[in-house]
Amino acid sequence: MNVTRRAALAAGVGALAMAPGTAARASLATTAVGDESARSMSAEGTLDVNPLPSDLAGLPQIEATLWATVSSENGHSLEGLVFDAAGRLYCCHRFSRERDGEKVTTSEVLMFDDDGASSVCASREGAAFNGIAFGPDGRAFLADMTGHILALDLASGEFAELPSSCDGHQIMPNDVVLGPNDDLYIADFSGNAFAADGGVYRLHAADSYQTIELVQGGLRTCNGIAFTPDRSHLWVAETSMNRVVRIAIDPQTGDAKTGFLDACVVYQGQGTAGPDSMRVDASGNVYQAFMPDGRAVVFNAKGIPIANVLPVDRSEGTAMMSTCPGLSPLEPRGYLAAYGKGGAYMYSFAALDVAADAAKR
């Protein structure tokens, strides 16, 4: 049954919450979303407001139901969904408040319990947290879009600043992920469709993440990044180009390979939406969020689109900033963060597999 947000809120969010252990692995042959937003024409013959791109409209659809309401107010954003080694879900939450006539932005790291209730683990004024990765020592590495890479001690709530400029270039950190040798890889959101100023950088674990270097340059507005399960390839989303690229990585050294097919465009999207954050499951499937379009696309390990993930209330257009998926390490269960004019929400869906390596996402 297609449950709208209004009906869900009337019944209570708990009615839609799915506790761990109840998830069923998604079946692409049978799974479908209740609304008709995938079609270019509605049943009444009128154009749909939010049609899917033509190359994706015929794919199987995985329904995402409302799991948690982080805020019912405008001006709240969610990003950076990640699980720790114990299977706890975290995300970045950003909002602004007026103070003495000025707008003050605050970023928080939220942790969710099994029922979707969240608590604040840490916060920082003036920051723009956008991505989280857990290090081998349990610290949370944060991509701060204001130009900072931070290491957060969750026990004390204290932040440590890590290098965020390389050869005179100030990075605009958008996402982070651990790669070979537990090095921290950073997506630099610099540039635009006509300026290839972005790239992927890394901080070396061998010296406590104090040395930074360029891994792959010549990219535009690097957003989500994620490794394949064997860490032989790095997926990168270029938002302003509306495309997803894959870069071959040496699993021993962590360096980018330089063969003519080692870095290639795997998917070119349609329309004005662009790819945001992504996650990879244990089978190598890539879950790629697109914003502002209220959806995610599942690609197989070869980069072929195989399914759409659609919130049940997508046709209402309330939370179209679908920024980031998250994958549980305990069961084939996925989550999708989205926000917009109606507030900030977390959706839950049946994934195709468990997370590839949740503790290092």
Compute the distance between CA of residue 252 and CA of residue 4 in angstroms, rounded to an integer: 48
Note the pLDDT of residue 47.
62
3-state secondary structure the chain: CCCCHHHHHHHCHHHCCCCCCCCCCCCCCCCCCCCCCCCCECCCCCECCCCCCCCCCCCCEEEEEEEEEEECCCCCEEEEEEECCCCCEEEEEEEEEEECCEEEEEEEEEEECCCCCEEEEEEEECCCEEEEEECCCCCEEEEECCCEEEEEECCCCEEEEECCEECCEECCEEEEEECHHHCEEEEECCCECCECCEEEEEECHHHCCCCEEEEEEEECCEEEEEECCCCCEEEEEECCCCEEEEEEECCCCCCECCCCCCEEEEEECCCCCEEEEEEEECCCCEEEEEECCCEEEEECCCCCEEEEEEECCHHHCCCCEEEEEEECCCCCEEEEEEEECCEEEEEEEECCCCECCHHHC
- Give the per-residue pLDDT at 342: 82
Contact 186, 176 (CB under 8 A): yes
CB 240 within 8 A of CB 274: yes
> If you compute the radius of gyration of the chain from its CA atoms, what whole number of angstroms results?
19
326 contacts 276 by C-beta, under 8 angstroms: no
Q: Before 311, cis peptide (omega within 30)?
A: no
* Domain segments of the chain as ranges: 5-360
d(CA 175, CA 52): 26
Amino acid at 156: S
Residue 53 burial (10 A CB sphere; 0-12, 13-18, 19+): middle
Q: How many CB atoms lie within 10 A of CB 4?
A: 16
Residue 243 contacts by C-beta under 8 Å, 6 or more apart in sequence? 237, 265, 267, 268, 269, 275
Q: Answer yes or no: are the C-beta atoms of 277 and 80 closer than 8 Å.
A: yes
pLDDT of residue 215: 98
Q: State the pLDDT at residue 301.
A: 97
Token pair of 189, please? Answer: 């959101």
Give the residue from 250, 225, 247 showing the smallest Cα distance to 238.
Answer: 225
Reported pTM: 0.89
10-residue mean pLDDT profile of the chain (361 residues): values are 38 36 57 44 59 96 98 95 95 93 95 97 97 96 98 96 97 98 98 97 97 98 98 98 98 95 96 97 98 97 98 91 97 97 94 79 41
Give the C-alpha separation, 140 to 257, whole Å. Answer: 28
Predicted pLDDT at 26: 74
* CA dist 326 → 139, 226, 236 (Å): 19, 12, 16
Domain 5-360 has CATH 2.30.30.790: no
- How far, in Å, are 47, 192, 196, 201, 310 from residue 171 at the CA level? 42, 14, 13, 9, 33
Supply the pLDDT for residue 109: 98
Separation of alpha carbons 193 and 19, rounded Å: 42
